[in-house]
Amino acid sequence: MLRLFAKREASRALCYSQKPISIVVPTVGYRSSNKVALAMRSFGTIVEDETHCKNVARQMIQYALGFARSQKSGEKYSQALMILEQGINNLHVGNSTDSTAMLLLAMSTLLYESGDLQDAMEKLKMVHQLDNASLALKVAAWEGLIGLNLETGQDITSSVLANDCFQLLNTSSEGNSSSLNVLLSRAKAMQGLTQLALGQLESGNTTLCQGELSHATGNLSLAKDLYQKVINLHEKEDVSGNSFLPSANMISEEVLLGATCALGQLFSLSGNFSEAEEMLTKALTKAESHFGSPHPKIGVILTCIAMMYKRKAKLEASSSILIQEGLYRRALDMLKAPALDSEDSDRQLGKRDVIALARGGYAEILCIQQNRKEEGDRMKKWAEAAWRNRRMSLADALEISEPNKPAVIDTRICRVL
């Protein structure tokens, strides 16, 4: 199945360069559908009881997320946000701080999925401004903020946020010891992820982060077990009822996607290409189902698939140049990579790691073709200038020259670890 997909994408990309359609989330200027108007009337009653407020918030969130994801259009996301805004207005009047926080977390997720990372961050910051919000919801907001800062390359900010969250939990007396331990575990996970992004491999923590740590340090057997544990846990979990707790790129669907893609990369590194194809196909299908196509997350996974084909060709002494080129071109289109003569590589560039890796891989393909070597050299120079990984060079990431220092792409934050 993956071969057919790869060949299809290669042919498509070599024939034309399709620009992805940006989803813009306006706050005004559209007419609500009858369905949305009905939903807003249904959820439009001001409620006073805290427990009832939370139940209403959960229903609104499940409806809004399902509605927005049903067609994955800018209009649907806008209307879903309007429903949640109406809920905040009504529940805020009822003085339900936790339900307001829950709705803000859900709004952050919708904004993130529609490509508006800055507004997604603002909603998460608003959760921290709710003095009486529960610790669990504040940790969820921290989690999302850290993830979004990592995705945008703000590693130091992410590290500060992770440490602040951990310190607050260490001094907190809210809740029982069991619930506090769960929150501490989540805080350690975010600390571990920021440390991995900073190249501090001695400090990684928790299941998915520990799997990535084991993967990045060459302990592939342990990494495989940990990835599988995450997949089994999240495939059995009913996320419909708790999708309001995590937010943005840390929701359960993102964790499952990240573990699936990481396991596919691990199989590729191990030379088990049939299982690598199977897992990466699953990851691609999950991403297309959740985000729709085109979307930058799909570009991240296509980069992983192209890297798998490169390694397969090298180990099997075969050729897959056309497939790799098509995948890299399609990935770069979906990642919205700037033009080679653009100044964006010197500015704040989202998904910089993956774009540089894809451009570097594409450059290798071009450089072995005499009539395209000049273009390949320009692309290679651009990729090397954009590469910011503290642990390894771009050449090392592309070649995996040291078996105990492989690169792993985390699809949640779109970073090379």
- Select from 152, 134, 122 the least CA-distant residue to 414: 152
244: its two tokens: 């309001």
Coil, strand or helix at 410: strand
With tokens 């740590």, the residue in question is: 213
Domain boundaries, the chain: 23-133, 134-205
Tally of CB atoms within 10 A around 76: 20
Q: How distant, in Å, are the alpha carbons of 187, 208, 212, 309, 311 from that of 218?
A: 25, 15, 10, 20, 16
Coil, strand or helix at 207: helix
Phi, psi for 17 (deg, rounded to 5): -105, 105
Coil, strand or helix at 43: coil
Q: How distant, in Å, are the alpha carbons of 18, 107, 120 from that of 123?
A: 32, 7, 5
What pLDDT is recorded for position 19? 36
Chain centroid to CA 69: 16
- Select from 18, 67, 20 the least CA-distant residue to 42: 67
Chain centroid to CA 373: 34
CB 234 within 8 A of CB 274: no
Coil, strand or helix at 383: helix
CB 258 within 8 A of CB 412: yes
Over the chain (417 residues), the average pLDDT of each successive run of 10 is: 50 40 34 50 55 87 92 89 90 73 96 94 94 90 95 92 89 75 85 82 64 82 87 67 70 92 94 96 95 92 97 88 96 94 64 95 95 95 92 87 77 92
What pLDDT is recorded for position 241? 47
18: its two tokens: 């399709």
What pLDDT is recorded for position 111? 96
User: Per-residue DSSP letters for 291-354?
Assistant: H-SS-HHHHHHHHHHHHHHHHHHHHHT---HHHHHHHHHHHHHHTTPPPTT-SGGGS--TTHHH
Tally of CB atoms within 10 A around 180: 17
Q: Is 321 exposed, middle or buried (0-12, 13-18, 19+ CB in 10 A)?
A: middle
Q: How distant, in Å, are the alpha carbons of 30, 111, 114 from that of 26?
A: 8, 10, 11
CA-CA distance, 416 to 413, in Å (whole number)?
A: 9
Number of residues that this document lists for the chain: 417
Q: How distant, in Å, are the alpha carbons of 257, 258, 280, 406 from that of 208?
A: 11, 8, 17, 16
- Position 120, amino acid: A
User: Per-residue DSSP letters for 157-187?
Assistant: HHHHHHHHHHHHHHT---S-HHHHHHHHHHH
